[in-house]
Structure 1
Amino acid sequence: MDATAMLEWLLERNVSALFRVDPGREGIRPWTFHASSEPRHGDGWSVRADADSPEECLRRARKALKQHGLDLPE
């Protein structure tokens, strides 16, 4: 699943998310993924993944999302 498909999949589940690259970090883990759910009765959550490449960032993001019950399709 590429980044666009991943973001669309999360949107369908009411999860706010972004995938970003920040050149100001001077090459040190410039890729960031962040996602969060809206708190409902105190059960909101957020995840963040930073990495050196977009592929690694998405891999880490998938792992973090799975811990919150979001098992993304391949």
Structure 2
Amino acid sequence: MKLKHFEHYDGYRFLLTFENGEVKEADLADLIGHHVPPDGLNTARIDPEWGCLEFNGGKVDVEPKTLYRYVTGSHYKEVA
């Protein structure tokens, strides 16, 4: 389940669109906060081959399956 698109809101909040069409809004602080400082959030991008969310030029990445499991747990908000 690859990540297809994202929007960074503020802080660690992101709107994430997965290849199955699901759209989730999530606070990723608990997932990446120890690895990506607030000033590194603007480096976010999607790896075109793997569909993972990357930061700092790929030094930190979140596998799409991990990201999907995280946002479909208790750290997300449904988006219509």
Which structure is higher in RCO with an 8 Å CA cutoff and minimum separation 6? 2
The reply to whether TM is greater than 0.5 is: no
TM-score (norm 2): 0.29
Q: Which structure has the larger Rg?
A: 1
